[in-house]
């Protein structure tokens, strides 16, 4: 089932003149955003001394369909609510405004033009690291950013030809798929997502079918 995404106009993000910052990149559908996303981002920010974390929701993911016909507007609204209380978190709409299928390499090229002085750190879970070689243009991605893998303490990661900066973080067994199913089954998602996100989902009647 495809996500309902509004028609996009092509937006040109003009380069900005800022001092160099260390920016963590968290991409994904965030359908919905949950506590594990936020905990992972905060652990990486603290341990790698990053200045900000940019959450970049994708428009159309390249390898899966968006479930339950949740609009990009709703996904962004939930991200804004979830990140509101952290001064280091930002929501960036590069992929949604660009439209089409969202490929990480295209976003990173855009970021390098948008804020070329920044150092970018691409944050991935272990599953993403293990599948990284299947992404579009992984060699170029590895040149554009520092690759960061987040794993459980003492987890033995698979070997890869790409340099990975590993960050140990307590893993929370939460997934967006699990949350959607819990809602559809009439269960509670309290404490699985930020309270503001839970209230938004409830008020909008999201994921009930």
Domain boundaries, the chain: 22-204
Distance CA 38, CA 51 (A): 15
Q: Are 194 and 172 in contact (CB under 8 A)?
A: no
Residue-level pLDDT at 2 = 36
Does residue 6 register a pLDDT over 60? Answer: no
* Average pLDDT value for residue range 173-181: 94
At residue 157 the predicted structure's pLDDT band, cuts being 50, 70 and 90, is confident
At residue 66 the predicted structure's pLDDT band, cuts being 50, 70 and 90, is low
Residue-level pLDDT at 90 = 98
Average pLDDT of every residue of the chain: 90
Is CATH 3.40.50.620 the classification given to domain 22-204? yes
Residue-level pLDDT at 172 = 84
What's the helix, strand, coil split of the chain in %, to 5? 40, 20, 45
Distance CA 149, CA 17 (A): 29
Q: Which of 206, 181, 196, 174 is nearest to 39 (CA)?
A: 174
pTM of the model: 0.89
Residue-level pLDDT at 5 = 43
Residue-level pLDDT at 67 = 63
Q: Which two tokens stand for residue 20?
A: 């160099």
The sign one gets for the Cα dihedral 70, 124, 92, 98 is negative
């Amino acid at each position: 089932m495809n996500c309902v995404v509004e028609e996009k106009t092509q937006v040109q993000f003009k380069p900005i003149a800022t001092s160099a910052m260390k920016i963590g990149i968290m991409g994904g559908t965030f359908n919905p955003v949950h506590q594990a996303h936020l905990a992972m981002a905060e652990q990486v920010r603290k341990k790698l001394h990053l200045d900000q974390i940019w959450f970049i929701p994708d428009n159309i993911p390249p390898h899966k369909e968006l479930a339950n016909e949740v609009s990009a507007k709703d996904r962004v609204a939930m991200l804004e609510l979830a990140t509101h209380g952290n001064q280091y978190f930002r929501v960036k709409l590069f992929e949604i405004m660009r439209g089409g299928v969202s490929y990480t390499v295209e976003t990173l090229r855009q970021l390098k033009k948008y804020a070329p002085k920044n150092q970018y750190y691409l944050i991935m879970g272990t599953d993403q690291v293990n599948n990284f070689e299947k992404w579009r243009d992984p060699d170029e991605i590895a040149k554009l950013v520092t690759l960061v893998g987040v794993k459980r303490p003492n987890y033995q990661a698979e070997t890869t030809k790409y340099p990975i900066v590993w960050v140990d973080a307590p893993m929370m067994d939460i997934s967006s798929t699990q949350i959607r199913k819990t809602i559809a089954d009439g269960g509670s998602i309290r404490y699985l997502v930020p309270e503001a996100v839970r209230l938004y989902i409830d008020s909008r009647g999201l994921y009930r079918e």
